[in-house]
Amino acid sequence: MAGRRGALIVLEGVDRAGKSTQGRRLVEALRADGHCADLLRFPERTTEIGRLISSYLVKEKNLEDHAVHLLFSANRWEHVPSMREKLRQGITLVVDRYAFSGVAFTSAKDLSPEEAAERGNFGNERYENSSFQEKVLQSFYHLMKDKTLNWKTMDASKSIEDLHREIKTIAEETMQEVQNKPLGELWK
């Protein structure tokens, strides 16, 4: 029994794909089955770095693109020690966005201002328009070519319930699969 570790389950996708809903449902269901599971989200807006990011996203603050990219990265790094500790203790982490969002959103920023001005039915934060999200999606497809990561693609147009069942099955398989493997590192 000793040494069984938790799984790192990352939900990625464009804005409004349903990641937060599915993340919450997954953690509830895993806990109901007696597993140890915690929900995390990035950006984690409650830290000092997270508050800076949030004021950038709601357009209260302007920040240089590279600087804000590094803030998103720093916001993940400030949580890495506690994440590793939890995984080692056997707690499965369900994470609503991670470093893939960092790459996908920053790399979508070469969008022309005309394209960015065309707004769809999104929220009011930075990046929340359809042409930007299309670039983000293409970037995610590119990142998914990395077969060292165990990507599963979900059809976000399915019902919340159907998606939940699929995601829960994948999560349980993954937890089994990794339980005796050492913690890895991303992009090493």
- How would you classify the pairing of strands 92-96 and 8-11? parallel
With 0-12 CB in 10 A as exposed, 13-18 as middle and 19+ as buried, what is 40? buried
Question: Which C-beta is closer to ligand NYM: that of 46 or that of 112?
Answer: 46
Here's the x/- map for ligand NYM, 148-187, by CB under 6 A: it reads as: ----------------------------------------
In this structure, are residues 104 and 50 in contact, taking their beta carbons and an 8 Å threshold? Answer: no
In this structure, are residues 175 and 92 in contact, taking their beta carbons and an 8 Å threshold? Answer: yes
Round to whole Å and give the CA distance between 66 and 50. Answer: 16
Cβ 107 to ligand NYM shortest distance, Å = 10
| Binding region for ligand NYM (CB under 6 A) out of 28-36, 83-91, 98-106, 150-158 | 98-106
| Binding region for Mg ion (CB under 5 A) out of 7-15, 31-39, 69-77, 92-100 | 7-15
* 56 interacts with ligand NYM by CB under 6 A: no
* 135 interacts with ligand NYM by CB under 6 A: no
* Nearest by Cα to 33 from 183, 153, 175: 175
Instruction: Say how many residues make up the chain.
Output: 188
Q: How many CB atoms lie within 10 A of CB 71?
A: 16
* 132 interacts with ligand NYM by CB under 6 A: no
The residue ranges that bind ligand NYM (CB under 6 A) are 15, 42-43, 57, 72, 97, 101-102, 105, 127
